[in-house]
Amino acid sequence: MQLKLQKTLILFSILALTSCGFTLRGSASLPPELQTIVLASSDSSNETLRLLRRALTANNVTVLDTVEADSYRLVIGDEEITERILSVNSNARAGEYELSLSIPFQLRSADTILIEPEVLTIEKVYLADPTSAVAKAEERELMENEMHRELVFLILRRLQSVTL
Q: In this structure, is residue 1 part of a structural domain?
A: no
The domain tally of the chain equals 1
Average pLDDT over residues 102-116: 91
Q: Checking DSSP bridges between strand 62-64 and strand 72-76, what pairing results, if any?
A: unpaired
Separation of alpha carbons 83 and 94, rounded Å? 12
For the entire predicted model, the pTM comes to: 0.76
Question: Is residue 3 domain-resident?
Answer: no
What CATH number corresponds to the domain at position 70? Answer: 3.30.160.150
Domain hosting residue 136, numbered range:
26-161
User: Is residue 95, in this structure, part of any structural domain at all?
Assistant: yes
- Residue 11's pLDDT band (boundaries 50, 70, 90)? low
Interval 19-58: pLDDT, tens: 555 444 446 688 888 899 999 888 878 899 999 999 999 9
